[in-house]
Amino acid sequence: MSDYSSQFLTVEVIAHTAVVTFNNPPAHTWTAQSLADLRDLVLSLNEDKNIYALVLTGDGGKFFSAGADLNVFADGDKQVARDMSDIFAQAFETLATFRGVSISAINGYAMGGGLEVALACDIRIAEEHAVMALPEASVGLLPCAGGTQNLALLVGEGWTKRMILCGERVNADKALAINLVEEVVAKGEGKRAAIALAEKVAKQSPVAVAACKQLIQKNRVMPIEQALPQERQAFVDLFDSLDQKEGVQAFLDKRKPVWLNK
């Protein structure tokens, strides 16, 4: 456990990867505090130049996260609803813009806000017994933490409507088939697979990875004819970095690069 850990989030730093385990048993539901903790954690990791990747998973083998605790909304208080939706947005939108690469190891049920946190990540790995859903409409609510938008980016409008409007749950194999996740692994292997993928990230220039991630995600907010010139400019800007010089020289020297993250 590292100094980054908090009441609901256990953090272990392995080489250049921060492994974050949700720890709010039994179902790892989100609270205002745990969401604030996630937001603050990602902001701190953004400043830690030793961290290149972030892995999220749930403690145990049954739940990744069951999302929001509906007891919070039982009295129908609109101000509570507004406050919770705001802190969900702060947490997951901060996660989506994490400087490095974020990977979810979905090791069980990922429901509502539990799936939305995975949708905010760059890559999703599901264990074979995982079940994913956005069931908010079944209790008169809707996914307010990016679900209606981020799900459609991955699976298209049709499957987004099946999952949200029809309340359809998907298992790991179906999630893989519709591009909701990028890989399915055996039960208990999600965390290990995510860390192994994060180790591949560490072989890349952190400066280049951050620039590439920002460019890839520009398709969400601008047409390609505007993004392409920014891509070319970002390429030129990398020549201001020490990593660019090290990467090219290491290749020419036939050795592994030593990244400076600057």
Active site residue ranges: 116, 136
Instruction: Read off the amino acid at residue 17.
Output: T
The residues, ordered by sequence, that sit 6+ positions from 27 with a Cβ below 8 Å of its Cβ are 62, 63, 65, 66, 109
How is residue 188 annotated by DSSP?
T
Cα–Cα distance measured from residue 103 to residue 123, given in angstroms and rounded to the nearest whole number: 5
DSSP string covering 27-41: TT-B-HHHHHHHHHH
The residues, ordered by sequence, that sit 6+ positions from 189 with a Cβ below 8 Å of its Cβ are 127
**CB burial of residue 35 (10 Å; 0-12, 13-18, 19+):** buried
Cα–Cα distance measured from residue 94 to residue 33, given in angstroms and rounded to the nearest whole number: 15
